[in-house]
A and B are shown apart, each in its own frame.
Chain A
Amino acid sequence: MLAAFSARELPEVLKPLPGTPRAPGSHFVAPTPLAAEVVRFVGEPVAVVVAEDAYAAEDGAEAVVVEYAPLPAVVDVEQDPVTTPVIHDGWASNVADHFVVVAGAGARALERAPVVVEETLAIGRLSAQPMEPRAVAAVYDAAEGRLTVYLATQSVTQAHRGFSEMLGLPLERVRVVVPNIGGAFGVKTRFYGEEVLAAHLAMRLGRPMRWVGDRREEFTVTNQGRAQLHHVRIGLDDDGHILAFVDHFLQDAGAYNITASGPALNAAITAHGPYRIPHLEMACDIVLTNTTPTGPYRGAGRPEGAYVMERMLDRAAEAMGLDRAELRRRNLIRPEELPYDTGMKRQDRAVVFDAGDYPAGFEQVVRSIDYEGFRTRQRAERERGVYLGIGVANCLEMSGIGLGDSARVRLDASGDVVVMTAVSQMGQGHPTAYAQIAAERLGAPIERVRVIEGDSATGVEGIGTFASRSTVAAGNAIALAAQRVRQRLLDAAAQQLEASEDDLEWQGDDIVVRGAPGRRIALRGVVAQAGGESIEEVASGQGTPTFGFQGHGVTVAVDPDLLTVEVRDYVICHDAGTVVNPLLAEGQTIGAAVQGLGNVTSEEMRYDAAGQPLATTLHSYILPSSVDTPEYRLYEQHFPARTNPEGFRGLGEGGTIPSLPALAQAIEDALSPFGVRLNALPLTPQRLSEALQRQAGRGGAA
């Protein structure tokens, strides 16, 4: 062991991690890199040990003696304002933030609804578990006063500012490089304490420093997701048209309020879905508990929002004696109503659904899953003791949010093209897709295009890869910059060749006049004339949201004894907008859907009353494997988004969003002979067993 430090011995970095308060009046509260006096959740770091290798470091960590005086633990998100202890000194309660999204008359409209259905719905807490845990390596060049950090992050620019702020170094003396990342799913959006500690200790001890989280740390320290509790009322007219949707919900933020508000706001906006809703009220309290902080995880609130809307439609259909698909049909926004202003405001901007054909997408799902023929099959199979169920659910995938992103496209005299962005990839295949965009707009051979992402040294402005925004924001920026480069190239070439721009073509190392192979000019010469060493352009893509339809249809068989779920058929129809690379797009959709399957049927971060996490290994936290993955049948619509020039739609999260309600609906349908109502996710065999026990206690059929 080389060194060990407690919080007291690192006063220079003992300040809250940076971030931005969401709104005036909200309590943004971030942890310090090490807990100084109070430890607020299991996993919060209290000391740092430096050693030559991980074995010695763990020996050192084991030798750390901590004297804990136990404080009462708060784990429930529903809290008595009088008796619940506060987690942060000086607070009146553990409510860190409150916001309301309203359309029309909000909750007041319920008074006019002849049918009102009320329900409490919950989405349990999850852990993302990317294959590679978080990791950082820092090198400080004392002579130059320069810090270089290699970091697994989704936001190179935020990390760049974070290091600068926490370490007191000017931005130009910090470089953050993002190498290939082994998965992220949202949890690497945040700036974490270990990252600051590694960089600080590299400077302080004068040697390179590395920290690689292990699986247990990934379970206890890294952000978790979901964890929402919704009290919902839906009002309808006698024909099943939605009049009002009112949801007062609680977001469990964990022990700090760092990144929980984003998913909560996404849930509030996404609940609306592709339906006509004249009056809506989504009110949220962000509540602290003594658990690991929560933040974005694939879908980041969108699956939760879709879950509450779709499950309320199921309940309303049941209450009115209407078919679940029919109720949805009556409320889907028609193509001629688009663009559709929801009346909602997101960060002071109107939420407007841009383009699509939602009824056509939904009918595709209903037809493909054989919704009409299913009931006959279901009855026949039940005779044989097989419990089949069906679910259909929709959403609009909000993508491309956040401020803009820039891109720099450079054409060198050699004919090589370099594309630089501030987004970063963790397996999506950005370098392929972005090279395609640039090559197409430039008319260049794709093998000449190189993509550089996630390096603060490029100086490209942007905010990073999350919220299904990269291709919408950076992709548009690349297309625009590449077009400008091409324009300058062609202007110069047209002049030299005395030909029209429209007749010019990039062939190998030359620009040629189409149909006149003798009339050509070396690229090198054109570039030299147009820009010297290279032609370079920087452009920005906006952060205007797009809303793409996605519908899921699923049939399952539930083992009535073991309560395991087998997916029999799974149909997805989604509006992919303008697609850059069909294979990558399909991969995003299927991967997201598999994560939804895990969310519903196998994964759960459960805590006991003392705040101890009950699953901290992959033995007890069950991720779906390739063998558990069903064959997904995909249908695509292609309505270009109207909110960005290229018509791109984000695709990273849509596959997860309606999978939660679709699967829950199907599982509940399969178990309908037992009369059990499944309001809370997940629906693991253990949770289903608990639900059946409760039902039996009520004297139900089971």
Chain B
Amino acid sequence: MTTQENNANIYDSLAVGEQLAHLEYIVTPELLEEYREVVGYTEAYYPHIAAKEYIEVIKRKHVGVLPVISAKHKDEYYAPPPVGKRIQVTGWVKDKYERRGRNWLVVETFAVDEDGREIVRSEHSFLMGGVK
């Protein structure tokens, strides 16, 4: 199966409102430090920006290569993730549509820490497949 076919299969199988895979991870001091160094900002507090949770929640449910091109990202910030605490992320398909013959997907994720404290709500729109 080609990557394009795999992409099309995943897109076709996704339903608006469908709950995607659950994620859990811990922001360690080392990873936060590396993220801050990479983005060049010593007070960066939201390393999820690099984590691309919106792709991972799909990949873990619909296994396969998922080349996409990001179109838009939206975050609503509640509180920075506490270092050392487990972060739990749920995701779902918010929307899918075809435009000019290309498939577009919108995924929403919501992260809380292990105490149930809200961290961030994200929405990401992307094009399935390439620009050609």
| Bind each other | no
Q: Report A's interface with B, CB cutoff 8 A.
A: none
Q: Report B's interface with A, CB cutoff 8 A.
A: none
